[in-house]
Amino acid sequence: MSEVPSDRRYTESHEWVQKLSDGTVRIGITDHAQDALGERVFAGLPGRGEKAARGDGTAVVESVKAASDIYAPLDGEVIEANTRLVDQPELINNSPYTDGWILRVRPVRPDDVDKLLDAAAYEHTLEA
């Protein structure tokens, strides 16, 4: 079974969201998603100040298998992208919940994070 940290929220499309103390959120893809997609070869990241709209693609990760959009789990403004991924896209595989995060967003409605799946609900979707 894939690792599912309990300190985050999740989407059915396999993104994770972690609240940070400054009111922003860090977003990445889950262990399950990185495993399914295979070894990363490229990460296309949004720029600072770009808008993230819930459900829209905000980044792209390419692997030896396919290119996949990373969908915004909530509305907000991109504060930072993990530029380490440009030269080291394998961080997504090696450390999807820490070094392999993809972007940091300032949510329009911070309480939208709480509407996402908790770890137990996300694990249930993986089992289904």
Q: What is the pLDDT of residue 50?
A: 97
List the structure tokens of 30.
Answer: 């889950």
23 close to 79: Cβ distance less than 8 angstroms = no
Tokens at 68, concatenated: 């996949």
User: Among all chains, which residue has been given the structure tokens 């295979």?
Assistant: 38
Q: What pLDDT is attached to residue 75?
A: 98
In angstroms, the CA 40 to CA 70 distance is: 13
- Interval 102-113: pLDDT, tens: 999 999 999 999
DSSP-derived letter for residue 77 is E
Q: In order of start, what are the domains of the chain with their CATH numbers?
A: 9-109 (2.40.50.100)
The token duo for 117 is 């799946």
